[in-house]
Structure 1
Amino acid sequence: MDEGTGLRRELSGRQVGMIALGGAIGTGLFLGSGLAISLAGPAAVAAYAVAAVVALALAYALAEMTVVHPEAGGFGAIAHRYLGPMASFVQRWLYVVAQVVNIGSEVVAAGLYIQFWWPEVPLWLPVVVFSALILTVNTLSVRFFGEFEYWFAMIKVVTIVVFIAIGVYFLLFGLPGRPSPGLTAITDHGGFLPNGLGAVWLALSVVTFSYLGTEAVAVTAAESKDPERDVPRAARGMVVRLGLFYVLGTAVLVAVVPWTEAAGAEGITQSPFVRLFEYAGIPAAAGLMNFVVLTAALSAMNTNLYLSSRMTHSLAMVGHAPKALLKTSARGVPTRSLALCALGLVIAVLASVFSPQQAFPLLIGAALFSGVTAWILIFVTHFAFRRTRAREGLPASPIRLPGAPVTSGLAALALVAVLVTTGFTDQFFVAWLAGPPFLLLLVLAYLPVRRRAARTGARDAEPST
């Protein structure tokens, strides 16, 4: 156990790698890919490729900083060191709120997936059951959490690999009763760029959110058995796997299913993944995919609850949240921080059930704005990290983001542009209704926190590592 935090270093290398990968692969690929395709057509694959580059730059920047500072709070603690306490306070609370709202949306989605099989079941019942399940998993021990998440994330990974394999075989050789379509799905229906380059940029604002979760690699460092080895390895593994799963998976999708059919495929039965499995003669393809997206939702819930509780615990460590949240169980689990995040989960679920037309879209908008803003601050932190260590003559990190600080700056600018673009999309414009007011509220909330720290003589600083 880390005596300074109460957390335990029990996550193995394979668990850290799968948590990071599972955090970046969600139901957005299985169900939400149709939304990006509806905007850009087959060129949506280019949007996924560009977003992958930004996500991979983020993974490398985080790994570079986390190997030097493998502490509780992850990127929030590092921001505290290099950007100051206010930036860290804002970033961490932005991230906590984004994750808690995402947990609420995922548990409601999981309940809807159950209704696919049993439509007569009231939505609240599976929501309560799954909430209790995921809370229990997070309460037991970090090692149990890591093993549970490893196998749930593995289901997503195996599904994507099988999908790509079947798709490539179908394109090359055809399937029983269905000859190979060649590349007609791309060349027909307006070609590769049916809606122009502007549509690809709009799609980029959609697909960027699919990669949220990449930052999980930094938060696991405080509970990794060997962060100096495991964090860089997890970051490097994501380079190949994200490119394979998102970019190649989307390329196979648009090559097999005409984009006019895949566009807007939001339900299980309309998912492009279901269409290909039906082509392959897999019985009950829709039921199989429903199981996959159900496990994907539970995996996202599991990881997001872990991330939000650890970030809340790190806020308490520096006096940016009540000290009572520092308490950990005998298993090294920050139970009070976990309970606080679970309370937020309840609020998000109630909003989605009782006021889906008003409250829940605003919560989702705040989450989207918060998540991207937290990413931007990660790149700003990385720029300050590089500059400070160079000025003070400190040794370089054993893993480095190639091309930095230019790559950090370009990635941050790309995210700012994407965030601005969300205001012009029907799906995400609500982020600008909720995000900036919430950001201002956090800045104002820091002022009494700072005054209290000055009055009580609190250090308002991270523990040294």
Structure 2
Amino acid sequence: MSSEKDHHVELHRGLKNRHIQMIALGGAIGTGLFYGSATTIQLVGPAIIVSYLLGGTAIFFIVRALGEMCVDQPVAGAFSYFAYKYLGDFPGFFSGWNYWFNYIAVSMAELTVVGVYINFWYPNVPQWVTALAFLVIITLINLINVEAFGEFEFWFALIKVVAILAMIAFGLVMIFFGLGEQGAVGFSNLWTHGGFLPNGVWGLLLSLVIVMFSFGGVELIGITAAEADDPKRSIPKAINQVVWRILIFYIGALTILMILYPWDQIGTSGSPFVEIFSAIGIPAAAHILNFVVLTAALSVYNSGIYSNGRMLHGLALQGNAPKFLTKVSRNGIPINGVFASSAVTLIAVILNFLVPGKVFLYLISIATIAGIFNWAMILVTQLRFRKVEAEKGREDQLQFKMPLYPISNYIALAFLAMVVVLMAYIPDMVYSLYIGPIWIIILYIGYKFLRRNPETKPPHRE
């Protein structure tokens, strides 16, 4: 018989297969694509297509490494749990708190650009007011139950998917046939404005930094494993779809944009998707796309509140966070984790009040370095996971093996190391290289402090 105490520490397995698929899809389509791609285009030009292909390959290896572990052991805390179990106390502590920190920065970035999108319709509304309003709304949604989160995320993601597919189809019509009085656009914009690679290989390399921010969120698949009603079926399906998601939704959409409009005329004051359709005289499409990019930002923020609450809950169960964060409401929501994460995200509202319009790049630089820490930890943990399982004689029992193991791990790790080096050459991102080591030191101090607290004790390795 379960006690009241037990009842309040259990998450509910309320996410259906369709929820998992759309959460995985929605996590990879957000502000990085709809807003951050404008900055990437300025760095690399039409070759942004190649940038996303390279970054997408690395991301595929990372989520497959995570998927191998999550399918075998679908637990709360995901890669934080695995890092603790296979690498040790501090790696588990670091992995969980760093993921939380990463998604806090991502959530702040999403709130920041929500104000930009609202200003497309209502230019006089202060961005901080918009950020505060949506912070409250999305937090309340996440406090209902996990099914409510899943339903909202399903529809948020579906809007993005349908809109991008429609935009691609619409763009193809304009490219090959034209629309109204405007003739067929053709393909010349890919090479007539300084060439396909106008800033050379160096521009291509620098663009990879912002491209990697765009992919932040795909690891959310692992967080959902503890609340999936059939993780051994839904998680592999969602992860395998990463390949065609990248091909269609990133490379496909950006290829259409690069063909439709000269890359060097795209600004950075709004979504390039909205700018382009406004510039070519299709205002209705611009309004529709602005609604889409708004829902995209809210979708990723919705996912951020969800994942941050679960990560704090998982950390608390491990003894790596204060015990009050283990509290789960009767509806299966880690209520204190959600409130704590939402409260910290309020910093974005304050930043938008103090320095409106200057926050986004600073936030994505922090999110990118934290994301790289997460991804590197996943790859290293999976190397150890596979070795341990092989020693136990269980390697053949793994249902969702990492492809090209271990070569793929080392390729992806080398790629991430290269991105960190490249961050030093982008003025708005270089300071995150100082924040990274400081953040590691802060976490180590926090780890040592928490371990001295008699109320927290390390989780048990199996």
Query: What is the TM-score of this pair, normalised by structure 2?
Result: 0.93
Retained in 2: the 8 A contact 1:351–1:360? no
Among 115, 119, 144, which residue is 2:148 paired with? 144
Q: 1:187 and 1:114 mapped to 2: Cα distance?
A: 34
Equivalent residue for 2:288?
Answer: 288
Contact 1:105-1:349 at 8 Å conserved across structures: no
Counterpart residue number, 1:431: 432
Deviating more after overlay: 383-392 vs 218-227: 383-392
What is the alpha-carbon distance in structure 2 between the residues aligned to residue 122 and residue 254 of structure 1?
32
Partner residue in 2 for 1:194: 198
Give structure 2 stretches of 5+ with no counterpart.
Answer: none
SS at match of 1:324: helix
**Residues 365, 429 of structure 2: 8 Å contact kept:** yes
Separation (CA, whole Å) in 2 of partners of 1:105 and 1:322: 27
- Paired with 1:359 and 1:149, the residues of 2 have a C-alpha distance of 25
Work out which of the residue numbers 255, 260, 272 in structure 2 matches 1:256.
260
How far did residue 174 of structure 1 move?
2.3
> 1:84 aligned to 2:95?
no
> Aligned residue for 2:120?
116
Q: 3-state DSSP class of the match of 1:59?
A: helix
Q: Return the alpha-carbon distance in structure 1 between the equivalents of residues 187 and 120 of structure 2.
A: 33
| Residue range with higher mean Cα deviation, 300-309 or 57-66 | 57-66
Equivalent position to 2:270, from 242, 267, 270: 267
Q: Is the contact made by 1:383 and 1:409 (CA closer than 8 Å) also made in structure 2?
A: no
Whole-Å separation in 2 of the counterparts to 1:265 and 1:359: 13
Q: Give CA deviations for 1:157-188 in whole Å, capped at 9, x if unaligned.
A: 11111111122222222222222232211121
* Contact 2:190/2:258, CA 8 A, preserved across alignment: yes
Aligned residue pairs total: 457
TM-superposition CA deviations, 1:391-412 (whole Å, max 9, x none): 2211442112210111011101
Is residue 101–residue 363 contact of structure 1 (8 Å, CA) maintained in 2?
A: yes
Report if aligned partners of 1:363, 1:434 keep a CA contact under 8 Å in 2. no
Distance 1:49 1:362, change over 3 A: closer
Equivalent pair of 1:386/1:405 in contact (CA under 8 Å): no
Cα–Cα, structure 1 residues 39 and 358, in superposed 2: closer, same or farther, change >3 Å?
closer
The alignment status of 1:234 with 2:238, answered yes or no, reads yes
Q: Is the 8 A contact 1:167 1:252 kept in 2?
A: yes
- Alpha-carbon RMSD across the aligned residues, in angstroms, is 2.2
- 8 Å CA contact 2:319, 2:456 repeated in 1: no
One-letter code aligned to 2:46: P
Instruction: Pick one of 128, 132, 157 that aligns with 1:128.
Output: 132
Structure 1 residues 99-130: Cα deviation after superposition (integer angstroms, max 9, x where no partner): 11222222232233223222333434322321
Q: Tell me the SS of whatever aligns to 2:198.
A: coil
**Matched residue type, 2:246:** L
Note the 1:161-240 alignment, pairs <5 A: 161-240=165-244
Partner of 2:11: 7
Letter in 2 for 1:460: P
- 1:320 corresponds to: 320
Question: In the TM superposition, what whole-angstrom CA distance separates every residue of 1:321-358 from its partner, at most 9, and x where no partner exists?
Answer: 11111011010000011111011111232133225699
- 1:274, CA displacement in angstroms? 4.1
Q: TM-score, normalised by structure 1?
A: 0.92
Question: Is the aligned partner of 1:100 residue 2:104?
Answer: yes
1:395-414 correspondence runs (5 A): 395-414=396-415
For 2:374, the aligned partner's letter is A
Distance in 2 (alpha carbons) for counterparts of 1:246 and 1:360: 20
User: Is the contact made by 2:274 and 2:287 (CA closer than 8 Å) also made in structure 1?
Assistant: no
- Distance (whole Å) between structure 2 residues aligned to residue 174 and residue 363 of structure 1: 39
Residue number in structure 2 paired with 1:243: 247
Mapped partners of 2:240, 2:429: distance in 1:
31
Matches of 2:171 and 2:8 in 1, distance apart?
50
Measured against aligned partners, the alpha-carbon deviations of 1:231-264 in whole angstroms (never above 9, x if no partner) come to 01111122212221111211222122122123x4
- 1:418-450 Cα distance to aligned partner (Å, 9 max, x none): 022111112322211322211221122212223
Counterpart residue number, 1:458: 457
* Structure 1 residue runs without a partner (length 5+): none
Q: Distance in 2 between matches of 1:357 and 1:178?
A: 35
Task: Map 1:12-51; keep pairs closer than 5 Å.
Answer: 12-51=16-55
Distance 1:112 1:46 in 2: 28
Between stretches 24-33 and 350-359, larger displacement belongs to 350-359
Task: Give 1:309's aligned residue.
Answer: 309
Classify the secondary structure of the residue corresponding to 2:33.
Answer: helix
1:381 alignment partner in structure 2: 381
Q: Indicate how the Cα distance of structure 1 residues 358 and 240 shifts in structure 2: closer, same or farther if over 3 A, else same.
A: closer
In the TM superposition, residue 389 of structure 1 has moved relative to its aligned partner by 1.0
Q: Which whole-Å CA distance do the structure 2 matches of 1:125 and 1:259 have between them?
A: 33
When residues 302 and 358 of structure 1 are mapped into structure 2, their CA distance, relative to the original with a 3 A threshold, is closer
Counterpart in the other structure of 2:343: 343
Equivalent residue letter for 2:38 = G
CA–CA distance in structure 2, aligned partners of residues 316 and 192 of structure 1:
50
Residues 13 and 230 of structure 1 are in contact (CA less than 8 Å); yes or no, is this contact kept in structure 2? yes
Q: SS of the counterpart of 2:248?
A: helix
CA 1:361–1:35: 2 relative to 1, 3 Å:
closer
Equivalent residue number for residue 442 of structure 1 = 443
- Separation in structure 2 between the aligned mates of residue 313 and residue 78 of structure 1, nearest angstrom: 15
SS of corresponding position for 1:284? helix
Matches within 5 A, 1:148-159: 148-159=152-163
1:242 and 1:295 map into 2 onto residues whose CA distance is 19
